Amino acid sequence: MDEYRWEVPREGAMRVPGIIYSSSRLMRAMGKDESPKQVANVAQLPGIVKCSLAMPDMHWGYGFPIGGVAAFDVNGGVVSPGGVGYDINCGCRLMMTNLRQEEIRPHLAKVVNALFQHVPSGVGSKGALKLSRSEEKRVLVEGARWAVKNGYGSQGDLESMEDGGCLPGADPEAVSERALERGKDQVGTLGSGNHFLELEVVEKIFDRDVASALGIEEGQVAVMVHSGSRGLGHQVCDDYLAKLVKHVDKLGLNLPDRQLACAYIQSPEGQQYLSAMACAANYAWANRQMLMHWTGEALERALGLSPRALGMRLVYDVCHNIAKIEEHVVDGKKMSLCVHRKGATRAFPPGHPALPQKYRKTGQPVLIPGDMGTGSYVLVGTEKAMAETFGSTCHGAGRVLSRAAAIKASRGRSIRREMEDRGVLVMAAAKGTLAEEMPEAYKDIDEVVNVVDGAGLSRKVAKLRAIGCIKG
Amino acid sequence: MKPYHTFDHTADLGLAINGASEEKLFANAAFAIFDIITDLNRVEARDARRIAVEGDNREDLLINFLREVLYLYNGERWLLKEIRIIRISTNGLDAEALGEPFDEQKHEICKEIKAVTYHQAEVRQTPAGWTARVIFDV
């Protein structure tokens, strides 16, 4: 279509066309990846509006592609658990500190070690907390507010999160006993796989005014947290997928992939999933809020600083696996839509009522983590994203090598040593994770971000470089 | 012949399983999951769990079965060493799993398997027996 957009023409059972935001280099690098076909499959779902979208970090998922965005009319459209993903409200949060790069460098090993010891991470990691069922249900209803109420962080943190860290409509009765069981001791844990906690330094500022409004300065030390709703979210997705696979058969909907199972938004089944999804989303916000709290404690202890001296503050917290009911203008008409972002980030423009007062002028901060050890980007949302992509942008670098291929490519190498040579100190709970998550396994984050910036879906504000990383 | 092998799927884990009979296929699939999750040499078969699942067809049955098998670890922190399929039809299955509770001191978790997906799942009868393909979220 143009420099940044590829069309997947409407054909067969597709109700709308597909549009992929990318660059010729990223498109070439995709090879035999089946994600364009997945973009077309999503376009077959009932009630989809305008087009089935994919962001430049797109890669092959199951059902929806990772990097997929699709919006459905609240009246007559569907909600799909597979369009949200297993890790409901997987997301990122960025905290800035008062520390300068030169102040932390001499103590880096000590700091990374303290984070590794103090913040629970790794496969099946259990937190410091075991919740009673009634307490756990409060977490599901209140989200980050529950964490703040219980001494993890401050009231002010809440306004620096999408939806104030709490999605409305959460009903714990929609969450299975199995999901509750898995969630009882995992709140405040990082988890495994691509989740991480990273120490970063602000390397480059692209927009001085916006950066300053966001409290971001060159040379400053920041922390990026990437985690989600852990086993609880996975179980919610698993439960509802199985339920809706049956439901779809009953409705007689013919879907190209069972993983696209869905329910009409207005149906009892659709509403029940949305209530359960909100619970998992809230659990994820409580989780990241606690991870932030423990990060602060670990940094204070390792560096012998008071909380005031450390000055850790939340810039923003974004979800990149979620479905939300939002107002959008489609063909000049205001519509209430259920926007699915599966590996995509909301990017609302300046002036949007969903933004906290302090970011009304800048637009919503968008946090894009790169692959392990590359660093991250901070961007802001734009009007163009609102007009073209239901206010959405990319979510990360996006995988290019499969996990098995990454392990193969890493044979005979020490990824930890290579990272150290690049100035990044890494500690991982599991042996295999480092190889699976090595930088070559991901697309070039600079290229991905340049596409969304070039296409106008969000604007670059700052680039951060990693100096330390905790992997699950 | 190895009862299973993994195949590439960008962000996830693909598993191709085979078995001389349908019972064997399902048992091998359960074994594969735990062979990937942990070092089975360190797991003892000293505790039994019953698994009963239903499905609309063979694929659905296999997925529901593997969801239950995976929950043994993800939900109950229990490791499977062996499994015996007691009864199987196109729509239902009873099985008995043997293993023991996960013990941090004794067992190692090599890899986390987070969920079973429906994406491109298939079960097929071939001249040589049975084969299946399933993609897991990891």
Per-residue pLDDT tens digits for A28-80: 887 778 889 999 999 999 999 999 999 999 998 888 999 999 999 999 999 99
User: 10 Å Cβ neighbour count for A184?
Assistant: 19
CA distance B88 to chain A (A): 20
User: 10 Å Cβ neighbour count for A367?
Assistant: 24
Q: Assess whether A107 carries a catalytic annotation.
A: no
Please report which confidence band the pLDDT of residue A327 belongs to, taking 50, 70 and 90 as the band edges: very high
| Res A125: pLDDT | 66
pLDDT at A372 over 90: no
A432 interaction partners in chain B (CB closer than 8 Å): 110-111
Residue in B7, B75, B119 nearest the CB of A182: B75
- Chain length of chain B: 138
Is the pTM of the predicted complex or chain greater than 0.90? yes
pLDDT at A373 over 80: no
Checking B83-87 for CB contacts under 8 A at 24+ apart, the result is B83/B27, B83/B30, B83/B31, B83/B51, B84/B27, B85/B23, B85/B26, B85/B27
CA distance B129 to chain A (A): 26
Pairing between strand A52-59 and A321-330?
Answer: unpaired
Query: Tens of pLDDT along A104-133?
Result: 999 999 999 999 999 988 766 667 789 999
| Res A81: pLDDT | 97
Please report which confidence band the pLDDT of residue A436 belongs to, taking 50, 70 and 90 as the band edges: confident
- Touching check for B108 and chain A: CB below 8 Å? no
| Res A28: pLDDT | 87
Instruction: Work out the average pLDDT over A280-309.
Output: 97
In this complex, do A242 and B64 lie within 8 Å of one another by their Cβ atoms?
A: yes
pLDDT at A256 over 70: yes
Checking B119-128 for CB contacts under 8 A at 24+ apart, the result is B119/A61, B119/A62, B119/A63, B119/A257, B119/A258, B119/A259, B120/A62, B120/A257, B121/A258, B121/B59, B121/B62, B121/B63, B122/B59, B123/B25, B123/B58, B123/B59, B123/B62, B128/B18
What percentage of residues in chain A have a pLDDT greater than 70?
99
CA distance B12 to chain A (A): 7
What is residue B101's DSSP assignment? E
| Res A17: pLDDT | 98
User: 10 Å Cβ neighbour count for A74?
Assistant: 18
| Res A95: pLDDT | 98
| Res A432: pLDDT | 72
Residue in A33, A404, A431 nearest the CB of B6: A404
Q: Which residue type occupies A92?
A: C
Q: Which residue of B has its CA nearest to A232?
A: B75
Query: Tens of pLDDT along A157-169?
Result: 999 999 999 999 9
Instruction: Work out the average pLDDT over A82-102.
Output: 97
**A17: Cα separation from own chain's centroid:** 26
A236 interaction partners in chain B (CB closer than 8 Å): none
- Touching check for B138 and chain A: CB below 8 Å? yes
Rounded Cα distance, B117 and A87, in Å: 13
| Res A133: pLDDT | 97
pLDDT at B1 over 70: no
User: A96 or A371, which is more confident?
Assistant: A96
Instruction: Work out the average pLDDT over A88-117.
Output: 96
CA-derived radius of gyration, chain A: 21
Please report which confidence band the pLDDT of residue B9 belongs to, taking 50, 70 and 90 as the band edges: confident
What percentage of residues in chain B have a pLDDT greater than 90?
85
Rounded Cα distance, A409 and A312, in Å: 38
In this complex, do A33 and B111 lie within 8 Å of one another by their Cβ atoms?
A: no
Rounded Cα distance, A113 and A116, in Å: 5
Q: Which residue type occupies A363?
A: G
Q: B4-137 falls under which CATH superfamily?
A: Archease domain (3.55.10.10)
- Touching check for B13 and chain A: CB below 8 Å? yes
B74 interaction partners in chain A (CB closer than 8 Å): 124, 182, 231, 234-235
Which bin fits A363, alpha (ψ -120 to 50), beta or left (φ > 0)?
A: left
In this complex, do A61 and B11 lie within 8 Å of one another by their Cβ atoms?
A: yes
pLDDT at A349 over 80: yes
| Res A431: pLDDT | 67
| Res A400: pLDDT | 78
Instruction: Work out the average pLDDT over B82-106.
Output: 96
Longest dimension (CA), chain B: 45
With 0-12 / 13-18 / 19 or more C-beta atoms within 10 angstroms meaning exposed / middle / buried, residue A98 is middle
In this complex, do A124 and B56 lie within 8 Å of one another by their Cβ atoms?
A: no
Rounded Cα distance, A416 and B118, in Å: 35
With 0-12 / 13-18 / 19 or more C-beta atoms within 10 angstroms meaning exposed / middle / buried, residue A136 is buried
Query: Tens of pLDDT along A378-435?
Result: 999 999 999 999 999 999 987 778 777 888 888 888 888 888 888 899 988 776 778 8
| Res B94: pLDDT | 98
Mean residue pLDDT of chain B comes to 94
User: 10 Å Cβ neighbour count for A198?
Assistant: 29
- Touching check for B96 and chain A: CB below 8 Å? no
CA distance B21 to chain A (A): 26
Identify the domain containing residue A54 by its residue range: 5-471
Under 8 Å CB pairs connecting chains A and B tally to: 97
* Total domains, chain A: 1
CA distance B83 to chain A (A): 22
| Res A428: pLDDT | 85
Residue in B9, B64, B138 nearest the CB of A60: B9
Mean residue pLDDT of chain A comes to 94
CATH of the domain at A248: 3.90.1860.10
Residues 44-83 of chain B with CB under 8 A from chain A are 56, 60, 63-64, 67, 71, 73-75, 77
| Res A273: pLDDT | 98
Residue in B12, B110, B118 nearest the CB of A258: B118
| Res A52: pLDDT | 98
